[in-house]
Chains A and B, each alone.
Chain A
Amino acid sequence: MSGRKKTLLKVIILGDSGVGKTSLMQQFVNNKFSHQYKATIGADFLTKEITIDNNKQVSLQIWDTAGQERFQSLGVAFYRGADCCVLCYDVTNEKSLNNLTSWKDEFLVQSNVTNPQDFPFIIIGNKIDVDDSKKIPSLQKKLQNITNNQLGGLNYPVFETSAKEGINVEAAFEVIAKMALQQEELNDANGHDVSDDYNDAINIHLESEYSGCAC
């Protein structure tokens, strides 16, 4: 499909309320951080175009879901047809770290993706700008427990970011785009576009007596 100019990727961001999903998105798209916390009630949609591997143009369609528990069930529309999923936690909030697994499960249940084991996820730990004293005690160890767990673990790339300071945000999204693009190319290799199927013969029942009287 070399004629295609841009790849469009749907990225969804999940994680507990208050971990800074919207801030991450704002930082990435607009390079700005809003100090005032506002609960997202529903979802935001943002678009950003980036170029990866020097020449691949990718258009990211980012769906930022509501974090609050009570809005959890946003319906399959959010999850359906996602190309990549970002799981976020807050480095100062242990509960948000522990909830990553259930966010992942929620996604897999709702999105009904065909190959869950191959689906591209990444993990973002936000708010690394805060004092070390406020961070989760022995964070790295706990994080490893979650990601390295052999059975059903979240063995995905982890990024520690600060939406406030703009640290690592861009890098994280670039990896997101790369992973999603790889997945997309893998899909292409497996199932070609059904675009050229002109062999669906139509059965046309005609009486074969053309030579007869046509009146």
Chain B
Amino acid sequence: MSTNDNESDNSVRGKVSSSLSSAQIKGPVSLTPTSILPSSSGPTLALNLENVSKGVTRAIDYTSDQLLSSGPRLSVVSSGSTSDYLLQRQISQEEYEGLTEDFEGDEDDETEDHDTEELHNIISDIIRYERNNTINVNSLMSEISYLDLDMFPNPDGLVDEMAYYRQHIEPSKSDSQQEFHYKNKHFFIFSLAGKPIYSFNGSDEIIMGYMGILTTIISTFEENINEEIKSIMVGDRLKIVALNKNPIVLVSISSISYELMALNKSDLGLELDDEIQTNDDKEENHTIRSKEDLILINQLSTIYNYLLSILSKPVIERNFTNRMNYDLRRILTSLDFQNIDALCMRLSYGLPITKEIDNNLLDTSSFGFFISELLDSSIQSINITNTTRTRLNNILLSCKKLKIKQPEEVKSDAISSYFSSVTSSAVEEKYLAEDLLFSLLSTSNKILGYMKPKNHSLSNDDLKIVLNLISSSSNSLQFTEDLWVPLCLPNFNPNGFLYVFVKRINLSDYFKSGIQVQPLDIVLISSNKNSFYQMQEVSIHIIYMIIKNVDVLNTLTQELISSSKLSIYKDIKVPTIKHFIYKLKKSNQFIMNDIIHVNNDRSMNSILQLIYFYSVLHNTKSVKIRSKLRSTYNKSNISSTTIPSATLSAIPNMKLTYTRWNFPHTSVTGFMLSDNDYEFYCLCNVPVSSKDLITHTLKIIKWCEKNKKRLFFGSGVVF
């Protein structure tokens, strides 16, 4: 087998070596790397396709000492059984405990209070052993550096957060091989002919070889083993995942710990039965593997959806028809590449791309986007009173009733329109907003009001494409332009375009005093490309309806100003919980409090920590709470933890996850509770008693349920 061709200098970008001949195709193949893709020694990958066994082609385990050379720094002890590879590591400063236990039992009706007590019992038993730990009560999470967490490889042992960011996180298109190999995360898009379309890092010079290697690997598997390659695991710290959307391929390479975790999501019908979980045999491992790729696959799908949204499926396909050498970059613009960069950054790190990354008050919409992806494309909602929301929705609805007279001399696509009374019934009257399909009122990428037709709706993924369009055009919108943009919404219809009208309004303009209020975006989605002027007049109508009544204007302005602060901390006392997310399952929408509550900042460090804690909390297998104990585990790694023989009433599908990270001077507790209606996640950074944790959790959940109508925009209004 070939080895590193060290004679090849820097211009040799990559090499695939394969000893595959047609005679050997059918035989089993095993892969032995001489080195691995983003290694520092150069991109040489050798394949020996002589012994592949069909069963393992989906995910192939490489082992590489190179990857582990930096040495693990984190001791992880857990009873969780599905994120083992994250947990198999040993040694050092901190400890992390993820506790996942199973309970079961008979189903009887109990009061809520009783449930509370039982939950409390369960939790208190889980965390009892920890009480001996002495922890500074006044500690802050800001004392923790994201570099203390087991998030990213740190081969040079960097301790400066900004230096690490520059070296390993920030995308770089430079010619330097070394810079390229330092990056934690790579995204590639290329055609099936191996021609590059996009890369998160590296210049063309650098990436061209990788595109060739990846194309070769992917199509070798496809042709010869008749199996689509989905992922390759390199050691336990590096994964390559491919999404083949013929004629283009998307690949992600990640060495980020929270992305290598398996997803444990019952919602996707992927949760394993307890029985399977205990009989951890190899057959089942196979199914678990495909779940492990989901985080990265979802990211690639999101990027692919972006491509569809600007090009549509037929345009991509037609360009490649009879022209496999087509270079898709020809129809992409620099803005598209910037948008994909931003998307990759949000998906991987929840961070914006900004020169002022050391700003302590970063824009957190990228963090919101990350959480949204984590929670199955849940949409972040915003807190406004139900009265205001209803009012806004009714304004949107009223647009559909506007009528216009159509002056004879003007062509239909240049309507100079006048409103007229609905009661008049002139023959030439038309509905102004006839082509209007969906309307959105949003502010800082969160939806306030939403109108949709009776028999159509936009999926959350499509809504996110629309919201992303707005955030990527915010530069233009600052100039108070009206935008008119063709957009393909792939879930609605991947084969055609809708037309999106966007207008940003500043309510501050309507006040004499210098009130600062976040701008409001009017988004009107039409099926007709010639309906700009109609949409413009609809938007004027909407603005008029908002500003004509001083009460409405004042209320809305006040609510927008306070919307970022959840009033929950005024309403109830939950001092232990620094940050929480409440997701309403039915509408797949979530709310969370401002990240500023955690460390009094919105810094990169705080965002990355939350990304990590929530990812681990979310991706760790949760406990199904049943009212009788099935078995008493004695997890060898957790001293003196006994499982309560508690009974719990039939809380439908209630599950919990409890995780705790101990640091020299502080600790962080993560807690997840869910049932059929909601998912609740929270983080505490003071030592928290089980009683407080449960009481406060339930308080917040109750508050959210009570305020459901003001917290979530629901399914909007229907015309």
Contact = CB atoms under 8 A, between A and B. Distances in A.
Direct contact of A and B (CB under 8 A): yes
Interface of A: 1, 4, 6-8, 10, 29-30, 34, 36, 38, 40-49, 59, 61, 63, 70-78, 80-83, 112, 114, 184, 187, 191, 193-195, 197-198, 200-202, 204-207, 210-211, 214
A75 B220 contact: yes
Given A74-B216, A77-B218, A187-B323, 11 more contacts: A6-B204, A8-B195, A47-B11, A49-B205, A80-B193, A81-B195, A184-B325, A198-B529, A207-B455, A211-B431, A214-B719
Interface residues on B, range: 35 or more
Contacts of B19: 41-42, 70-71
Nearest to B435: A204
A42 B15 contact: yes
Nearest to A9: B325
A7 B2 CA distance: 33
For the complex of A and B, 7 pairs with smallest distance between CB atoms: A81-B193, A77-B219, A81-B324, A45-B212, A195-B331, A200-B496, A42-B17
Interface stretch (B113-121, B313-321, B468-476, B694-702): B313-321
Contacts of A42: 2, 15-19, 46-47, 216
B566 interface: no
B535 to A, nearest CB: 15
B223 A75 contact: yes
A150 to B, nearest CB: 28
A193 B319 contact: yes
Interface string B183-201: 0000000011111100000
Contacts of A191: 322-323
Contacts, number: 193
Nearest to B394: A214
Nearest to A183: B325
B15 A202 contact: no
B326 interface: yes
A47 B10 CA distance: 11
Contacts of B195: 8, 10, 61, 81
A187 B327 CA distance: 12
> A-side binding surface: helix, strand, loop or mixed?
loop
B216 A78 contact: yes
B9 interface: yes
Contact of B21 (A1, A63, A70): A70
Contact of A47 (B20, B193, B208, B433): B208
B412 interface: no
Contacts of B322: 114, 191
A214 B717 contact: yes
Contacts of A45: 12-16, 208-209, 211-213
B312 A76 contact: no
Contact of A71 (B20, B330, B437, B498): B20
A38 B454 CA distance: 68
Contacts of B47: 42
Contacts of A205: 455
Nearest to B45: A42
Nearest to B18: A42
Given A61-B195, A200-B312, A211 B493 contact: no
Contacts of B93: none
Contact of B495 (A36, A83, A200): A200
B689 interface: no
Contacts of B8: 44
Contacts of A61: 194-195, 208, 212
A158 to B, nearest CB: 24
Contact of A10 (B323, B325, B493): B325
B567 to A, nearest CB: 30
B216 A201 contact: no
A201 B212 CA distance: 37
B274 interface: no
Given A29-B11, A75-B219, A204-B456, A80 B324 contact: yes
A160 to B, nearest CB: 25
A40 B497 CA distance: 48
Contacts of B9: 30
A94 B325 CA distance: 33
A176 B370 CA distance: 47
A200 B12 CA distance: 44
Interface in B213-236: 213, 215-216, 218-220, 223-224
Contacts of A48: 11
B44 to A, nearest CB: 10
Contacts of B219: 75-77, 80
A46 B209 contact: yes
Contacts of A200: 312, 314, 495-497
B191 A81 contact: yes
